């Protein structure tokens, strides 16, 4: 009997054949290098595949995913991705995309211990604290969780703006827009939160770097 993971290798062979049929130079072109216009910072959740939901092809999007699409300023992995995307690839847009029904965000609302991951969830709890007046006023737990997902995305957008990587790009007048989106796993639609962050003026002065 075919093992479940063998299906993936079989799919891969079919996918290669399909791509070559559409464009015989598909892999040749991709092997020459990448020039993606977008950096995607999304959740690791298996239901939110960055390329599928945005209809983007290989080569179009540089991707970083972690639990609850966090921008943690001491995370070397995230910082390395951000630095390479901004300084070398010169992406024009960074999209932080959260999703309603995010397990990480919902766990951060609770007091239960989950083990090592609690250290990661604490960054999300900090966001709750910033917005506790608004969030505590929402009685319905599902609605409160949805709003928490949105404000969490908004905070991660601001956290990107606080990095020297993004501020230096803006300083050298490199076009760089930061967007905050939320994907709805119930209907597949993306909700643009309307944050189009292009300069540090929206940040408290203490975060401005000379
Ligand atoms: Co999630």
**118 Cα: distance to centroid of ligand 1 (angstroms):** 15
Residues 17 and 73 in one domain: no
Residues 85 and 113 in one domain: yes
Is the residue at 169 inside a domain?
A: yes
Nearest CA to 43 out of 135, 156, 164 is that of 156
**Separation CA 71–CA 3 (nearest Å):** 37
Residues 177 and 192 in one domain: yes
Domain that holds residue 2: 1-33
The residues, any chain, with a CB within 8 Å of residue 93's CB and separated by 6 or more, are 37, 38, 39, 176, 177, 178, 179
Catalytic positions, written as ranges: 43, 45, 47, 99, 102
Residues 63 and 158 in one domain: yes
Is the residue at 207 inside a domain?
A: no
- For the chain, give percent helix, strand, coil, nearest 5: 50, 15, 35
Mean pLDDT score of the chain, rounded to an integer?
Answer: 96
Q: Note the pLDDT tens digit of each residue in 147-197.
A: 999 999 999 999 999 999 999 999 999 999 999 999 999 999 999 999 888
Task: Return the CATH number at 141.
Answer: 3.40.1050.10
Mark the residues whose beta carbon lies below 5 A from ion ligand 1: 43, 45, 102, 104
Residues 42 and 19 in one domain: no
Q: Note the pLDDT tens digit of each residue in 97-135.
A: 999 999 999 999 999 999 999 999 999 999 999 999 999
Residues 81 and 155 in one domain: yes
Residues 29 and 75 in one domain: no
Is the residue at 26 inside a domain?
A: yes
Is the residue at 71 inside a domain?
A: yes
Nearest CA to 74 out of 178, 153, 163 is that of 163
Residues 27 and 72 in one domain: no
Contact present, 99 and 68 (Cβ < 8 Å): no
**Separation CA 61–CA 179 (nearest Å):** 14
Is the residue at 210 inside a domain?
A: no
Number of domains, the chain: 2
**209 Cα: distance to centroid of ligand 1 (angstroms):** 31
Is the residue at 208 inside a domain?
A: no
Q: Note the pLDDT tens digit of each residue in 67-95.
A: 999 999 999 999 999 999 999 999 999 99
User: 139 in helix, strand or coil?
Assistant: coil
């Amino acid at each position: 009997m075919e093992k479940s993971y063998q299906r993936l290798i079989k799919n891969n062979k079919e996918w290669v054949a399909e791509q070559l049929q559409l464009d015989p130079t598909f892999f040749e072109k991709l092997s020459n290098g990448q020039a993606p216009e977008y950096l995607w910072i999304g959740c690791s959740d298996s239901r939110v595949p960055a390329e599928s939901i945005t209809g983007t092809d290989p080569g179009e999007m540089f991707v970083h995913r972690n639990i609850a699409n966090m921008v943690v300023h001491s995370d070397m992995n995230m910082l390395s991705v951000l630095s390479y995307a901004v300084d070398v690839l010169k992406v024009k847009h960074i999209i932080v995309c959260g999703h309603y029904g995010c397990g990480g965000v919902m766990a951060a609302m609770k007091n239960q211990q989950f083990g090592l991951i609690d250290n990661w969830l604490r960054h999300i709890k900090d966001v709750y604290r910033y917005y506790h007046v608004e969030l505590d006023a929402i009685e319905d737990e599902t609605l409160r969780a949805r709003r928490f997902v949105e404000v969490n995305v908004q905070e991660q957008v601001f956290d990107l703006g606080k990095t020297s990587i993004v501020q230096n790009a803006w300083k050298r007048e490199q076009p760089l827009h930061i967007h905050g989106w939320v994907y709805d796993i119930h209907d597949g639609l993306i909700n643009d939160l309307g944050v189009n962050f292009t300069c540090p003026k929206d940040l408290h002065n203490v975060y401005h770097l000379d």
